[in-house]
Structure 1
Amino acid sequence: MSDVSSTPLKILHVFRAPLGGLFRHVLDVARGQAERGHQVGIFCDATTGGPRADAVFRELSQTLSLGITRVPMSRYPSLTDFRAQMAQMPLRKRLDPDVVHCHGSKGGVYGRIPALLSPNRRYITAYTPHGGSFNYKPGSAEHKIYMTVERLLEGATDMFLFESRFIAGRFESHVGHEPKTAHRIVLNGISEAEFEPVDHSQAGFDLLYLGELRSAKGVDTLIDALALLRRRDGLAPRILIVGSGPDEAELKAMTAARGVAGQCVFEPPGPIRKALAQARIMVIPSRAESLPYVILEAAAAAQPLISTDVGGINEIYGPRHRHRLIQANDPVILADAIRAMLARPEVERLAEAIDLAAHVREHFRLDTMTDGVIAAYRDALTARRKVATSA
């Protein structure tokens, strides 16, 4: 039996959509693992992600020696799930991975159901929820169903890897106990290059929103706050809204209905630093988050920020800055925060942003994240093989 403390590993990452922060996390971890000499592969959805995901996968194909396998997957339970599972079975047999790392609620199902049926398996399963099923409203039918699934699949999980203390706490409160198997918190991290302060000298907008255009992100609250600023204070800050999502048409109509369409420019998703350079202040009005990369990246780039206090955002802000976070879902509070930030001298805004960047540099590093994930794998593999030897 090989020594799992030092030998290269074969790692398969399983998730659904190549979108958003979850996708960013998987890409960062997978690249870091490949750079450290491990064999890495990806199994994910073929119907989402668009041209941007296609381009990323083309670039990655030379790096991930276990390949990239994409099959149709559905967001909600359907017959497509069965077909995807059937496609995964021969892939696993061929790759013979040491680690199956599941990401998000759907990845957690795809990756752990086979493990549930194979109690004497050689490989280990790791699971990073990324919010996922834990973001549903407690008490709702969806929440009850997903928590039942989480309890069922807990026994098929060798290592829980929570990317924030917030999600670790949600697991305990919603499932009803700490994970019964090995678990640890490995915070999301970003690369050294992302700590270069962004240049705002050519900024043409006062405000920036960057993210998905859907209800959980609170963009409607931001639009209401803009209307309030215009009506109450005579302020009409220009805002760049960068993103896409199911509520895009509705939000554009809302800007017209509230009389602020002339202040708002919508653009499709693109490189974050390009967007940051176009606006002096970034606004995150979310109703729900886990540990969002968009705030990590903006904070690292010393971008002045206004954000709601949801999910693990206060972990990013830390003890020196979390008092600045505001209540979610309240246009009046958000409007007041925007007005106050616009009124502050730019030198004060930037000094505050630079101090937050220093905190992020200290606690959210890409190398620390990658090494922490690999160390967790090795501990879980050692535990599983000890059990197999004693059986």
Structure 2
Amino acid sequence: MKILIVLRAPTGGLWRHAVDLAETLAEHGSEVGLAIDGGFSDSQTERGLARLEGRMSLGIYRLAIARQPGFADIGAIWAIRRLAAKLGVDIVHGHGAKGGAYARFAALGMKNRVSVYTPHGGVINYKVGHWDGDLLRRVETLMLGLIDAIAFESEFARKAYAETIGTPRCLWRVIHNGLGEKDFEPLPEPKERFDFAFVGELRSVKGVPVLLEALSQIRRPDGSPATLVLAGGGPEVPTAHALCKTFDLCDRVKFVGVQPAREVFAQSDCVVMPSLFESLPYVILEAAATGKQVIATDVGGVNEIFGPYSDRLIPAGDVQALKAAMTRFLNDPETGGAEGSELKDYVREKFNIARMTGEVERLYKDALAGRKA
């Protein structure tokens, strides 16, 4: 098959997924191309592009793709459609709201080309009542009949899409994100040691204020204050620094910026992910793959990651519940380690790249068969 993968911002879990999928599809014999926004780049973007260098037989294309909807999308849509025609692709797989919209129009009216869409949260991430979110949901609803297949990354995403957009009129599957064997390898030697680690955007929706407030109330069994390494960036970094001052945490919290997740996980035996909203976050999968204790909130599809261990999840936004879970780990790290090993084994079995890619390939073939029928 010839496949063009389309997305806007090459960063975060969406980018990780796209890189893993593109790389594995190519290994399985497909010809793969990639189209992304050329105006965005960070260290994660460049690492992903380095992995794909020389493996994308159809090329890598950096186009102008704006974050907000507007007239600029018209030019980008036609650029993707022309590119798909030039490459002679069978599949245009769009990731995220923008990628999904572009994929639809790239395959519209083409008998031998189909569009596939993975939302990755997408429009369901926007709050109801905000003009941009309401507009995107309206557009998404209008385009329901234009897509050939949808690959939801979680059962939560499927349900949320049906509730906010509508029931898909096309072929659809729930295909969980997957990890590779490298994610389960031993961690590198840590540069420093902390009691807890957090990896992600330093935003309120990720529960950072809740985490910092809980940390301010936590002591080790010997009475000394607990410590935290915070890895990530984003526009709310100054707010996080201000909260550290408010809670008198400046000597207990270290900000390390955007870093490879595994290097940060190595610095603690407990990863804390207190998000207020998620779909199926890669960072929790990656944390679980280390065998460390993972403290997470019961939001989105996180319970799908924890499976039979979902009773360990805590309520989102609850400072006291988070404090209790973190204190429990400090008081009994052996139990935390055992729980981490159990979760690692479950994630290794249920969330792997080979399974993910195989299910995506079957979806592609079924969508093509349906279009040609």
Fold match (TM-score > 0.5): yes
Partner SS, residue 48 of structure 2: helix
**Is the contact made by 2:84 and 2:106 (CA closer than 8 Å) also made in structure 1?**
no
Residue in structure 1 matching 2:151, options 161, 170, 175: 161
Does residue 1:88 correspond to 2:104, yes or no? Answer: no
2: CA distance, partners of 1:242 / 1:10: 38
Does residue 1:322 correspond to 2:310, yes or no? Answer: yes
Aligned to 2:275: 286
Q: Which amino acid aligns with 1:13?
A: I
Aligned to 1:353: 340
CA distance 1:197–1:58, shift in 2 (3 Å): closer
Q: Which amino acid aligns with 1:168?
A: R
1: CA distance, partners of 2:354 / 2:169: 28
Aligned to 1:269: 258
Q: How many correspondences in the alignment?
A: 371
CA distance 1:354–1:203, shift in 2 (3 Å): farther
CA distance 1:276–1:51, shift in 2 (3 Å): closer
2: CA distance, partners of 1:261 / 1:224: 13
2: CA distance, partners of 1:46 / 1:293: 23
**Is the contact made by 2:141 and 2:166 (CA closer than 8 Å) also made in structure 1?**
no
**CA displacement, residues 244-286 of structure 1 (integer Å, 9 cap, x when unaligned):** 1111122112211221111111112222221111112110011
CA distance 1:94–1:361, shift in 2 (3 Å): same
Does residue 1:53 correspond to 2:45, yes or no? Answer: yes
1: CA distance, partners of 2:93 / 2:267: 37
**Is the contact made by 1:113 and 1:153 (CA closer than 8 Å) also made in structure 2?**
no
Alignment of 1:4-43 (within 5 A): 9-43=1-35
2: CA distance, partners of 1:214 / 1:80: 28
2: CA distance, partners of 1:198 / 1:72: 37
Does residue 1:228 correspond to 2:220, yes or no? Answer: no
Name stretches of at least 5 consecutive residues in structure 1 with no aligned partner: 1-8, 387-391
Alignment of 1:1-391 (within 5 A): 9-115=1-107, 118-138=108-128, 140-177=130-167, 179-198=168-187, 204-229=193-218, 236-319=225-308, 321-344=309-332, 346-386=333-373
Q: Which amino acid aligns with 1:337?
A: A
Q: Which moved more, 1:250-259 or 1:51-60?
A: 51-60
Measure how far apart 1:13 and its partner are: 0.5
Measure how far apart 1:304 and its partner are: 0.7
**Is the contact made by 1:228 and 1:332 (CA closer than 8 Å) also made in structure 2?**
no
**Is the contact made by 1:123 and 1:381 (CA closer than 8 Å) also made in structure 2?**
yes
Measure how far apart 1:369 and its partner are: 0.3
CA distance 1:322–1:235, shift in 2 (3 Å): farther
2: CA distance, partners of 1:170 / 1:38: 32
**Is the contact made by 2:81 and 2:105 (CA closer than 8 Å) also made in structure 1?**
no
**Is the contact made by 1:282 and 1:305 (CA closer than 8 Å) also made in structure 2?**
yes
Partner SS, residue 42 of structure 1: strand
Partner SS, residue 127 of structure 1: strand
Q: What TM-score comes out, normalization by structure 2 length?
A: 0.94
**Is the contact made by 1:200 and 1:279 (CA closer than 8 Å) also made in structure 2?**
no
2: CA distance, partners of 1:99 / 1:197: 37
2: CA distance, partners of 1:328 / 1:197: 30
**Is the contact made by 2:188 and 2:263 (CA closer than 8 Å) also made in structure 1?**
no
Q: Which amino acid aligns with 2:195?
A: D
CA distance 1:198–1:61, shift in 2 (3 Å): closer
Measure how far apart 1:193 and its partner are: 2.7
Measure how far apart 1:201 and its partner are: 7.9
Q: Which moved more, 1:132-141 or 1:271-280?
A: 132-141
Partner SS, residue 361 of structure 1: helix
Q: Which amino acid aligns with 2:364?
A: Y
Q: Which amino acid aligns with 1:358?
A: D
**Is the contact made by 2:16 and 2:48 (CA closer than 8 Å) also made in structure 1?**
no
**Is the contact made by 2:19 and 2:48 (CA closer than 8 Å) also made in structure 1?**
no
CA distance 1:315–1:200, shift in 2 (3 Å): farther
Partner SS, residue 341 of structure 1: helix
Measure how far apart 1:303 and its partner are: 1.2
Partner SS, residue 229 of structure 1: coil
Q: Which amino acid aligns with 2:35?
A: F
Q: Which moved more, 1:285-294 or 1:147-156?
A: 147-156
**CA displacement, residues 59-83 of structure 1 (integer Å, 9 cap, x when unaligned):** 4130001111012222212343233
2: CA distance, partners of 1:340 / 1:98: 53
Q: Which amino acid aligns with 1:171?
A: Y
Partner SS, residue 204 of structure 1: coil
